[in-house]
């Protein structure tokens, strides 16, 4: 029965917006992609595409870049927070969509939504404690605990924790807030600035890989020791370098130094730390998952 | 009605075990304290005190030091894991208690239980996203997300994340697994080794305080950026030095560097980072809270 429902989804990313109609079975029936510009003009494009397609849908899921206020009890619910995309700062995203539809609206971060979609249809199917990390122009993460996305004061912002710096890394770090946090040292812009090229244009034995894997391995350890997931998914543009994933597992094992007894737990790092099961539709399906989970 | 229930609780600590009978209103009716020795002899003492007092109780809550297997679906559920207390390693705690009672048994880490008790009767009353950190002979933490204790692969082991080392700290670190993780650098034994005295025997302007506050401030940041709690509670023996708490808040603010917009969130660090509301009965009440939450 769930499979027959139709759900509208909006995935707001820093460079593009994906809108679509999905089914409860995780099939994408229609989709479009819109370049991200200022909020007013972008929202007009979203409305023009989506509004005529809402007739048979049960709700609109919105999976957005953060920071965003996700607490429905907050007067700022649905507002974008202090993003580097300054035109979007304080923009009341939820209200802008509410202007043209009475359907239920459910909003969360893109990464919390992706974690829920991976649980429903992807690499974490059936799991209840899952972390989804994206490594791209930034580093973000969604956390699902006991089957529900983690919210509270805000939402997870895992990319702004700080790793131990590697001694041979002299990059100051690219984060405007923290310099050398995980995002500042290991997201795409840090790789590009440090080595002059993106990772996928460097050979797999280039020291860039070992450094990237070490930082992401440290991040994996922090996540295993806080959220205690049974699936830890690494996605995003940087992870398209497929050599990286096994190196991250090795780095995580090195930093854990035997503290988690994987033999006793009956699981290996190969099962625990994985890449996404959903490809380019992950964000859109994440938006749909928000509506299904709330209905 | 909840208040009239009687619940048995067992808090297993590294140096002592507290057993007691509590009410659903959070009152402790009877309690005793037993020194922790090997598991067999300690369990006999627990049985001798508790078994005759179980008649009117609805269940037995067990709040234990970790690591402990907390997944009821695991064949190791209720076993102690790789603890430095070697006599307890692999001990089947739950089975040892099951031998003398048919009552419902609910088990969790001492710190997850303490977080639930603080939510029910203490400093986090009514909150749904809470972290409870204890800084004593080790550093542990319980996490409650959406009202439920965080479990998964294991349970949170936040003390084994690694902080950025301070340049004037030449301690190798005391953790047998990781050396200079948070526990290795900032728990009681690290303070004692580094300065030759516990914190409470040093003057408040001693550099030990600033160093301790910086490490715990970094830990606070990692927890705010993952679990996103609306209450972050610091308890344990080291926190009895009351000068420390405001210094931890300052250190957290310094490391966050404006990333969380507390003005927009309508909360100050004074409300967010606090000490426990429950005193010496926190563990015992935590054990009782486990039974109430499960019933």
Dist CA A157 CA B229 (whole Å): 12
What is the C-alpha separation between A220 and A214, in angstroms, rounded? 10
> How many residue contacts between A and B have a Cβ separation below 8 Å?
151
Starting at the earlier edge strand, list the strands of the sheet with B16-23.
Answer: B28-35, B16-23, B6-12, B57-64, B105-109
Whether A129 and B145 lie within 8 Å, measured CB to CB = no
CB contact under 8 A, B150 and A148: no
Instruction: Return the SS3 of A4.
Output: helix
Q: Is residue A79 within 8 Å of A90, Cβ to Cβ?
A: yes
> Chain B contacts of A255, Cβ < 8 Å?
162, 178
Of B164, B178, B230, the CB nearest to A257: B178
pLDDT surpasses 50 at A1: no
Report the share of chain B in percent with pLDDT over 70.
Answer: 99
Give the integer Cα–Cα distance in Å for A284 and A46: 13
pTM of the entire predicted model = 0.96
Chain A hits for B128, Cβ within 8 Å: 152
Nearest to B272 among A145, A153, A255 (CB): A153
The per-residue pLDDT for range A124-180, each reduced to its tens digit, is 999 999 999 999 999 999 999 999 999 999 999 999 999 999 999 999 999 999 999
- Edge to edge, the sheet with strand A130-135 lists A148-149, A139-145, A130-135, A231-235, A273-274
Predicted pLDDT of residue A273: 98
Alpha-carbon distance values, A291 to A56, A110, A127, B4, B18 (Å) = 14, 13, 19, 40, 46
Residue A14 has pLDDT above 90, yes or no: no
CB of B149 closer than 8 Å to CB of B131:
no
How far, in Å, CA of A108 to CA of A99, rounded? 19
Roughly how many angstroms between the first and final C-alpha of chain A, as a whole number?
13
Provide Rg for chain B, Cα atoms: 19
Contacts of A27 (CB under 8 A, 6+ apart): none
Label residue B83 by pLDDT band (50, 70, 90). confident
Interface touch A258/B177, C-beta < 8 Å: yes
Are the CB atoms for B68 and B93 separated by under 8 Å? Answer: yes
pLDDT for position A237 = 94
Nearest CA in chain A to B226: A156
User: Could you tell me the two tokens for A112?
Assistant: 């919390």
The beta-strand segments (E) located in A36-79 are 57-64
Q: Which residues of B touch A143 (CB under 8 A)?
A: 145, 226-227
Least CA distance to B83: which residue of chain A?
A259
B161 with A82: Cβ contact below 8 A:
no
Is B118 strand, coil or helix? helix
Mean pLDDT of B240-266: 95
Q: Using CB atoms, which residue from A151, A160, A164 is nearest to B129?
A: A151
For residue B268, the chain A residue with the least C-alpha distance is A153
Test the A interface: residue of B226, B260, B274, B293 with most A CBs within 10 Å? B226
Q: What is the pLDDT of residue B288?
A: 97
Look at the block and give the residue holding tokens 């302007």. Answer: B205
Query: For residues B183 and B159, is the Cβ–Cβ distance under 8 A?
Result: yes
The DSSP bridge partners found for residue A234 are: A133
Q: What is the pLDDT of residues A53-94, one digit of tens each?
A: 999 999 999 999 999 999 988 899 999 998 878 899 999 999
Q: Which residues contact B272 (CB under 8 A, 6 or more apart)?
A: A153, B224, B229, B230, B231, B232, B262
Helical spans, DSSP H, in chain B? 39-50, 93-98, 110-121, 182-186, 188-195, 207-224, 244-256, 262-265, 269-272, 282-294
Mean pLDDT, chain A, rounded, equals 95
Instruction: Give chain B positions within 8 Å (CB) of A259.
Output: 82, 157, 160, 177-178
> Does B265 sit within 8 Å of A154, measured CB to CB?
yes
Name every residue whose Cβ is closer than 8 Å to that of residue A220 and which is 6 or more positions away in sequence. A232, A234, A248, A249, A251, A252, A273
Give chain B's length. Answer: 295
pLDDT in tens, A180-205: 999 999 999 999 999 999 999 999 89
Q: CA nearest A222 in B: which residue?
A: B161
In which residue are the tokens 């979203």 written?
A46
Whether residue B222 has pLDDT greater than 70: yes
Set of chain A residues whose Cβ sits within 8 Å of the Cβ of B161: 221-222, 225-226
- For chain A, helix (H) and strand (E) counts, in that order, are 10, 10
The tokens for B226 are 């993952």
Q: Among B112, B135, B111, which residue's Cα sits nearest to residue B213?
A: B135
CA distances from B151 to A151, A223, A270, B95, B109 (A): 16, 13, 20, 20, 10
Residue A2 has pLDDT above 80, yes or no: no
């Amino acid at each position: 029965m769930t499979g027959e429902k139709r759900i509208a989804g909006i995935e707001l990313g820093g460079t593009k917006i994906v809108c679509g109609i999905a089914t409860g079975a995780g099939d994408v029936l229609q989709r479009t992609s819109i370049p991200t510009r200022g909020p007013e003009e972008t929202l007009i494009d979203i409305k023009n595409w989506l509004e005529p397609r809402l007739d048979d849908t049960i709700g609109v899921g919105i999976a957005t870049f953060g920071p965003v206020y996700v607490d429905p009890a907050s007067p700022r619910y649905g507002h974008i927070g202090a993003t580097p995309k300054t035109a979007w700062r304080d923009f009341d995203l939820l209200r802008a969509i509410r202007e043209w539809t009475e359907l239920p609206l459910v909003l969360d971060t893109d990464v919390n939504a992706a974690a829920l979609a991976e649980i429903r249809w992807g690499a974490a199917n059936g799991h209840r404690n899952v972390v989804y990390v994206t490594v791209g122009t930034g580093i973000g993460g969604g956390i699902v605990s006991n089957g529900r996305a983690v919210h509270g004061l805000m939402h997870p912002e895992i990319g702004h924790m700080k790793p131990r710096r590697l001694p041979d890394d002299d990059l100051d770090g690219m984060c405007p807030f923290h310099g050398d946090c995980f995002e500042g040292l290991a997201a795409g812009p840090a790789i590009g600035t440090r080595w002059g090229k993106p990772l996928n244009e460097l050979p797999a034995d280039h020291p860039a890989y070992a450094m990237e894997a070490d930082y992401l391995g440290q991040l994996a350890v922090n996540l295993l020791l806080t959220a205690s997931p049974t699936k830890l998914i690494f996605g995003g543009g940087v992870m398209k370098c497929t050599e990286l994933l096994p190196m991250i597992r090795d780095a995580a094992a090195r930093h854990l130094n035997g503290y988690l007894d994987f033999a006793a737990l009956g699981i290996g790092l190969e099962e625990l730390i994985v890449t996404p099961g959903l490809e380019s539709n992950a964000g859109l399906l994440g938006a749909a998952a928000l509506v299904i989970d709330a209905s």
